[in-house]
Amino acid sequence: MLLYVIVYDLPDNKRRQKIHDLLEGYGQWVQYSTFECWLSSDKYAELQKRLRCQLNLDEDSIRFYPLSRHTVAQVETWGIGPPLWKMPGSTIV
């Protein structure tokens, strides 16, 4: 399980919204076009596969930064915005 920072730049509004909605299923939206996701290797592969279907790589740009445990511990967040994403556990209603 690694923390991935995923950032994207898409000119098309509709496509950007779709990518945003898809990523919301896998992690936390932290600021415009930036998500933090804790993913196992198979979930990461699944997400990339699903993203690949939505993107047009002639126009779009997307970057995936995996963080090692060592560097995750050194992450700093300043100012407003949510704290660093923790993998959520079970939900009880």
Partner 1 sequence: MRALYVSEQGCYLSLNDQLVRVKRQETLYAEVQLPLLQMILIFGKSQVTTQVIRACLWRNIPIVYLSRMGYCYGRILPIERGYRQLARYQDDLTLSDRLQVAREIVCTKLRNSRTVLMRQHRRQPSSSLDLVIQSLAVLVEKVRQADNIPRIMGLEGAGAAQYFSAFGDCLSSDEFIFGDRSRRPPGNPVNALLSFGYQVLWNHLLALIEVHGLDPYVACLHEGHRSHAALASDLLEEFRAPFIDAFVMYLINRKMMDVRDDFVYHNGGCYLNDVGRVKYLKAFVKRMEETITDEFGESQPKWDLLNQQVKAFKQFVYDPVKQPYVAYQIR
Q: In this chain, which of 9, 12, 21, 59 binds partner 1, going by CB under 8 A? A: 21
Backbone angles phi and psi of 70, in degrees to 5 = -60, -50
State the DSSP code for 79. S
Whether 9 has a binding-site annotation, put simply, is yes
CA distance linking residue 55 with residue 46, whole number of Å: 15
Q: Are 85 and 36 in contact (CB under 8 A)?
A: yes
The residue (of 69 and 78) whose beta carbon lies closer to partner 1 is: 69
The least distance separating partner 1 from the CB of residue 87, rounded to whole angstroms, comes to 8
Shortest distance in whole angstroms from residue 51 CB to partner 1: 12
# of chain residues touching partner 1 (CB under 8 A): 14
In angstroms, what is the C-alpha Rg of the chain? 14
Residue selected from 9, 12, 24, 59 as contacting partner 1 according to rule CB under 8 A:
24
Task: Please return the burial class of 85, using the count of CB atoms within 10 Å of its CB with bins 0-12, 13-18 and 19+.
Answer: middle
Q: Which of the residues 30 through 69 are near partner 1 (CB under 8 A)?
A: 43, 46-47
Binding residues vs partner 1 (CB under 8 A): 21-22, 24-26, 43, 46-47, 88-93
